Amino acid sequence: MKFVILSCLAAVALAAPQAPRQPEVNIIRQESTDNGDGNFRYSFAADNGIETEVVGTPGAEGQSNMQGYYVIALDNGAFARVEFVANEAGFQPRSDILPTDHPLPEHVHELLRIADEQRAQGIRFDEQGHRV
């Protein structure tokens, strides 16, 4: 009986899912410089195609302003480069893989022009759209 129980436990242990073995990744470039005054630079590249490079400077409002890029692997095996700026206006990425806003219809441009004219004339509206 003990043999049967031990055999069952061994079978369950052997049937347990095994963690997939991750491929070995080698670093081919890693550099960093920090001047101690808020200015810094770092870069990194691995042999699997992933890489990044960032330059940072002190911002006017106490933040670190950064500019650079990173390269990521896509599901189809290709790589995508994302360039970015991060400053007092927030994180602003640019890449072909990011969705873009659709252009506004022509009548919306006219409505925005009218709204700008009304603001310039001091015309205001409440939350329900009534003129105040």
Q: Residue 102's pLDDT is what?
A: 80
Q: Residue 126's pLDDT is what?
A: 87
Nearest to 49 by CA among 69, 73, 83: 73
Residue 6 has pLDDT above 70, yes or no: no
Q: What gap in Å lies between CA 107 and CA 111, rounded to an integer? A: 6
Q: Residue 3's pLDDT is what?
A: 65
Using one digit for the tens of pLDDT, what is the confidence trace for 38-73?
899 999 999 999 999 999 999 888 889 999 999 999
Q: Residue 132's pLDDT is what?
A: 84
Q: Residue 7's pLDDT is what?
A: 67
Residue 98 has pLDDT above 80, yes or no: yes
Using one digit for the tens of pLDDT, what is the confidence trace for 7-23?
666 666 667 677 777 78
Q: Residue 93's pLDDT is what?
A: 94
Q: How many CB atoms lie within 10 A of CB 56?
A: 19
